[in-house]
Structure 1
Amino acid sequence: MTNWPDDDVILYDGVCVFCSRWIQFVIARDAARRFRFTPIQSPYGVRLAQAFGIDPHEPDTNAVVHGGKAHLKSDAALTVLSNLSGWGWTRALFSVPKPLRDAVYSVVARNRYRIFGKYESCFIPDAELRKRVLEE
């Protein structure tokens, strides 16, 4: 995995309804305000995606930089969940074989627009949340 200078940054598809709801889910449970966010459509998001081999025009995964390393697909989701207060139990899901976890993740990722919809533009956070969004 490639190192990245910023830590605890979640890269997400900003026009994806499901992905934006995932970010809202994390925000509501991130009492420590540990995580910051960047839509893949932003200049910062594009650089981050390219650094980790994600096509910013056809993203098939979200990612999280944690501990200086990028975690993709199911590892990204479980890394974020397991670091939220009250969600530490999700660490046990790392024991499920990664190919199985990623297969389920990939089915949802491939069908996310069809199932959940797509925004015309990126999700716009409120003023308080904007402090935690990296875009440039």
Structure 2
Amino acid sequence: MRNGPVLLFDGVCNFCNSIVNFLIKQDKKGTISYGSLQSEAGKQILQHFLLPADSFESVVYIKDGEAYQKSDAAIVIARDLGGVWKLAVLAKFIPRRARDALYEWVARNRYKWFGKKDQCMIPSPEVRRRFID
């Protein structure tokens, strides 16, 4: 596994792909690596953390040997981006159950609202190095 954080995302979800593209632009230092949950590398990481490899309802953010999911993943990612995004840690004051309920509602409706691709995104050559194989 690569050094540094890794974000696993639903590679066919248009909303998820938009978020990844946003994160790539915001992560000026290029510290976060990316991979689709559907990829072989993604499945291996999920298995390593004893997470289901057939459910794509949550991003998984791997950092310092821990796997964060749902709203916890979003908060840790925002914190890692720094700057104004660090304010997202204030969401920790909202009970996880409520945060995750909102996360799950968006996850359930993301294909309906934003659509999906037939295949995982193919990154441009300049950002390809930030994706796990």
Q: Do both share a fold (TM > 0.5)?
A: yes
2:14 and 2:132 mapped to 1: Cα distance? 19
Query: What amino acid maps onto 1:91 in structure 2?
Result: V
| Matched AA of 1:20 | N
Say if 2:36 and 2:42, in contact at 8 Å, map to a contact too: yes
CA distance in 2, matches of 1:40, 1:13: 5
Percent identical among aligned pairs is 35
User: What is the number of equivalent residue pairs in this alignment?
Assistant: 132
Corresponding residue of 1:75? 72
- Going from structure 1 to structure 2, the CA distance change for 1:52 and 1:60 (only over 3 Å counts) comes to farther
CA contact (8 A) 1:5 1:68 kept: no
Q: Give the C-alpha shift of residue 6 in structure 1.
A: 4.5
Aligned twin of 1:25: 22
Question: Structure 1: 5+ residue runs without aligned partners?
Answer: none
**Equivalent position of 1:52 in the other structure:** 49
Which residue pairs with 1:103 in the alignment?
A: 101
Corresponding residue for residue 119 of structure 1:
117
Counterpart residue identity of residue 106, structure 2:
V
- TM-score normalised by L of structure 1: 0.90
Separation (CA, whole Å) in 1 of partners of 2:110 and 2:48: 24
The TM-score with structure 2 as length reference comes to 0.91
Q: Does the CA-based 8 Å contact 1:49-1:56 persist in structure 2?
A: yes
Question: Aligned-residue CA RMSD in angstroms?
Answer: 1.5
Q: Deviations over 1:112-136 (max 9, x none)?
A: 111110001111111111101002x
Structure with more of its chain in helix, by fraction: 2
1:79-120: per-residue Cα shift (whole Å, max 9, x none)?
A: 101111321111111111100000000011111111110001
Question: Do structure 1's residue 130 and structure 2's residue 116 form an aligned pair?
Answer: no
Q: What one-letter code is carried by the residue in structure 2 that aligns with 1:51?
A: H
